[in-house]
Amino acid sequence: MRLAPPSSNSRWRDVGVTAGAFGLGLLFLALFLLVAGFDVPLALGALWRGAFGSWYALTSATLVRATPLILLGLAFTLGSRGGALNIGMEGQFALGAMAAAWMGTHTGALPGVVALPMVLGAGMAAGALWMAVPVLLRLRFGVTEVISTLLLNFVAEAAVSYAVTGPLQEPSGIYPQSASLTMAARLPKLLPMSRLHLGLLIAFAVAVVMAVVLKRSRWGFELRAVGAGPRVAEVSGRIRAGRLLAVALLISGALAGLGGAVEVSGVSYALYLNLSPGFGFTAIAVALLGRLRPGGVVVAGLLFGALEAGAGGMQRDAAIPAVAVQVVQAVVILTMVVAANSGQRTANGND
């Protein structure tokens, strides 16, 4: 199975496939609602209003939801372009959130310009550190990262559960959550009267940097070569694929950790259990829908942000469980994997 897109000039085909996959997902959602006996027009209307119905819905629901999805989608993209699947973003996100919560409650009287980088940096470091385990297992023992990153998600969940009832629990010791971040450690709001925070711009900036690095830098070129033809990269490119991939995976972990830190510092202001409603898995659909291109991931992240925000609206206004939109996610993942592999079959044609 392959996930990476060809690097040739097939941008319009990509846009078509992406739009088709998302449309197909929505179609299946409508079918699902119909079969389940819900009022489909009412449900989809509520979905639309929840995502775009008001200025508040757009900025405080859709864009806020999109931020972690974009960051985690980019994390998945970086690994995948090198041929490694980071399925552990959920865990790296949780560890990043935990480290950010700890740092954000310990910055004391430091001003924001100092405290914020420390909080976000702690999140990135924790995400990278959590990823270091699968990287070492892969380099030393050849353990595939798909398994190791996935399993570490459960360990991370347990670690958060321990932290919010133990060392990081709020001072009164009643609620299973951490103390609140100091004001200086919180990401500033972008717009008054909304929940939209600086994290969205951070996500955009990461996307721009990643696009430039993948396209223009030697490192990015070598990473793409390792992803597209690992043996070619080693034999003809003299690239040390293992080391390159290790670095890419550590950065991937750091970005997922950054996602967790941004969520704590921009939205929740404290560490909770289940802070992520499955961002780490939805982000895989986001990355695939964006065809593993940073720009595409941003667009796909916004679409899925809207979908999740709309799901909240659907639950409020039409009493349909929000998890119903996971139908879209599943259809998108399957469609994109099929598209990537059937594209390859036609490209190789006959021999």
Partner 1 sequence: MLTLSHISKSFGATLALDDVSFDAAAGEVHALLGENGAGKSTLVAIAAGRMPADRGESRVVSRERTPYSPDTSDDSRPTTRLSLVAQHFTSIPAFTVAENIALAAGWQESGKALGVRARETIARIGLPLDAEAVVETLSVQLRQRLEIVKAMASDPQILLLDEPTAVLAPREVTELLAMVRAFAARGGAVVFISHKLPEVFAVADRVTVLRQGRVTLTGRVAEQTPRSLALAMIGEAPAQPERVAVTPGGTRVHADGLLLRPERGGTPVGPITMECMAGEIVGIAAIEGNGQRELLRAMAGLPEITRVDGTLRVSGAVGFVPEDRTTEGIIPEFSLTENFVLGRVRERWMDWGLLAADCDLALAEYDVRGGNAASAASALSGGNQQKLIFARVLSRQPDVLVAEDPTRGLDLHAAAAIHARLRSAAANGAAVIVHSSDLDEILDLADRVLVMANGKLVTVPAGASRDVVGDAMLGLPTP
202 binds partner 1 (CB under 8 A): no
Which of 179, 171, 188 lies closest to 106 in space, CA to CA?
A: 179
Contacts of 170 (CB under 8 A, 6+ apart): 177, 178, 179, 180, 270
Query: Residue 240 phi/psi, 5° resolution?
Result: -85, 90
34 binds partner 1 (CB under 8 A): no
139 binds partner 1 (CB under 8 A): no
Instruction: Look up residue 278 and give its amino acid.
Output: G
Which helix H or strand E contains 213, and what residues bound it?
A: helix 199-216
Q: What would the x/- binding string for partner 1 be over residues 162 to 201, using CB under 8 A?
A: ----------------------------------------
Cα 70 to Cα 68: distance, rounded to the nearest angstrom: 5
Q: What would the x/- binding string for partner 1 be over residues 212 to 231, using CB under 8 A?
A: ----xxxx-x--xx--xx-x
From the list 196, 233, 249, 302, which residue makes contact with partner 1 (rule: CB under 8 A)? 233
What six digits make up the tokens of 287? 């990355």
238 binds partner 1 (CB under 8 A): yes
13 binds partner 1 (CB under 8 A): no
140 binds partner 1 (CB under 8 A): no
Cβ at position 246, least distance to partner 1 in Å:
16
From the list 7, 161, 180, 268, which residue makes contact with partner 1 (rule: CB under 8 A)? 7
Distances in Å between the alpha carbon of 237 and those of 24, 83, 96, 184, 234? 40, 16, 35, 48, 5
52 binds partner 1 (CB under 8 A): no
268 binds partner 1 (CB under 8 A): no
Residue 7 or 161 having the CB closest to partner 1: 7
Instruction: Look up residue 141 and give its amino acid.
Output: F
Q: What burial class does residue 6 get, using C-beta atoms within 10 Å of its C-beta: 0-12 exposed, 13-18 middle, 19+ buried?
A: middle
Q: Using an 8 Å Cβ cutoff, are 206 and 71 in contact?
A: yes
239 binds partner 1 (CB under 8 A): yes
Binding site for partner 1 (CB under 8 A): 6-9, 216-219, 221, 224-225, 228-229, 231-239, 347-351
